Amino acid sequence: MPPTVVIGLICLALLAGCGGGGGVGETTNTAPDPSPDSFSNMTGDFGLITTSLSGLSASDPAALPGTGSASYDGVMRASLIIGGDNTEMTGRLDLTANFGTDQITGGVSGIIDENERAFSGDLILSDGVIDRGADTSIAYTFAADLGGTIDPGAAAIVIDGILQGDFLGAGQSGISGAVTATATDAGVTGSLIGDFTAE
């Protein structure tokens, strides 16, 4: 039998023994997707982060870094009040502070209400700024517009407001603050009032 035929048969046997398909060193991730988030989980996380950051006072705005950035992951919780209906909701907050440009970016996603009803759509942070001259006893250190359209499946709700907060600790270990916005559903305007924490 010619040498080339022998080599070919050996290669085929090796492929069959390994199940074919993947190359040497390749791995296939067969782990399932993470479970969907829930109102109860996010409410619990809010409490855990709050406890973790307890005892930290607002960072001195004048002493904030002049370069670099910091990213924070946490939870926003709020009351959606429209036409006499009050719905409690939570969402995952991601926020990035750019200390070089004094800008704030990020948003809120994965919004779920107290009945574990998921809302489509995200709330986006825009025109966010850091105020290095803020007096934290009477004003927040950073602020950003918060807006977007969220939909629980029945009607689109337009959110238009502001997110304001402070950095916490000498090393800006976390952030916390408040959310205030109007919420408009089918021509009826109400409010979205809440707070957030992240680290």
Domains defined for the chain, CATH in brackets: 57-198 (2.40.160.90)
Q: Write out the chain's pLDDT in tens, 199 residues.
A: 444 443 343 333 333 443 333 333 333 333 333 345 899 999 999 999 999 999 999 999 999 999 999 999 999 999 999 998 999 999 999 999 999 999 999 999 999 999 999 999 999 999 999 999 999 999 999 999 999 999 998 889 999 999 999 999 999 999 999 999 999 999 999 999 999 999 9
- CA dihedral sign, ordered 66, 71, 72, 76: positive
CB 104 within 8 A of CB 94: no
Length of the chain as a residue count: 199
Cα separation of 139 and 141, whole Å? 7
- CA dihedral sign, ordered 58, 173, 37, 43: negative
Q: How many CA atoms lie within 13 A of 11 on its CB side?
A: 7
CB 90 within 8 A of CB 106: no
The predicted model scores a pTM of 0.81
